Amino acid sequence: MTRPAGAQHGVLVLSCKDAPGIVHAVSGLLVQERCTIVESHQFDSATSGMFYMRVEFAHVDGAPLDFPALREAFQETAARYQMTWRLADAAERQRVLIMVSQYAHCLNDLLFRNSVGELNLDVVAIVSNHPDLEGIATFYGIPFRHIPVTRDTKPEAEAALLDIVREERVDLVVLARYMQILSDGLCRELEGRAINIHHSMLPSFKGARPYHQAHDRGVKFIGATAHYVTADLDEGPIIEQEMLRVDHSLSPEQLAARGREAETRALAHAVRWHTENRIVVHGHRTVVFE
């Protein structure tokens, strides 16, 4: 059935142990609630025995969706299959806090994409441990909070950050090249709602000047990984990766420029998929319905 033009869309995302009848149960419930399916993706994992599904839907006559009633109606099906699930308004803008240090490329890219409608974010604040990028926040009309971090003030700085997260009802924290290691406690507090971008190359170079290290080793690929933040530093579930081929002719500065390109793309994809409810996390892995 052709979806009504301009109709409100809902999104249902679920995961559970695979069993016969799941798709039938979900589609049957939507029919019962007079909804038509706009987009549907599913994945049956042969290795884990898990089933994953994302369904976008609208009311058959274009009427507004009653989300509390839909959630109530879905309870029985979810309980029957022991589902982990969420149901949301597809157009709802998530409240996002961006953290950054002194590198501007990821921050600027996200804010530009959001300004032209490529992302659907309500950026409520930009938090930085340096004052350098306040001008970008001012340009986009976003509150900027400078929270310096030292070894001695780290607990107070993280407490101030959490105050902002709570006061602003933040749905997602994006570390857009925030060059501070978060404490285990903060990582646990933000689990499942914080995304980081990390340069990843073969081999992976840690510490300062990674692209200079890559140049010294003559790497043939550089790239970036966007992942969820966990207490295991850069070991969180991977959302997106970008890789670019390079060669011996590139200087360290040119490698860094290519790296910035990979970082911005990977992070933008990860943020968009998260805020569009296209990601399901299972253990250390993610299922991404692009």
**CA 21 vs CA 31, 77, 116, 244, 255: distances in Å:** 15, 11, 41, 43, 51
Cα–Cα separations (whole angstroms), residue 82 to 22, 37, 68, 190, 289 = 11, 23, 20, 25, 21
Of the candidates 288, 277, 265, the residue with the CA atom closest to the CA atom of residue 110: 265
What gap in Å lies between CA 162 and CA 43, rounded to an integer?
36
Buried b (16+ CB within 10 A) or exposed e, 107-124: bbbbbebbeeeebbbebb
Between strands 194-199 and 172-175, the pairing is: parallel
Amino acid in the structure at residue 10: G
The answer to whether residue 234 is catalytic is yes
Dist. CA 113–CA 131, nearest whole Å: 23
Q: Which of 18, 89, 122, 234 is catalytic?
A: 234
What is the distance between the alpha carbons of residues 251 and 257, in angstroms, rounded to a whole number?
A: 10
Task: Give the C-alpha separation, 91 to 58, whole Å.
Answer: 12
Query: Rounded CA gap, 266 and 123, in Å?
Result: 19
| Joined tokens for residue 35 | 């909804």
Measured distance CA(15)–CA(181) in Å, rounded: 31
Active-site residues, by number, are 234
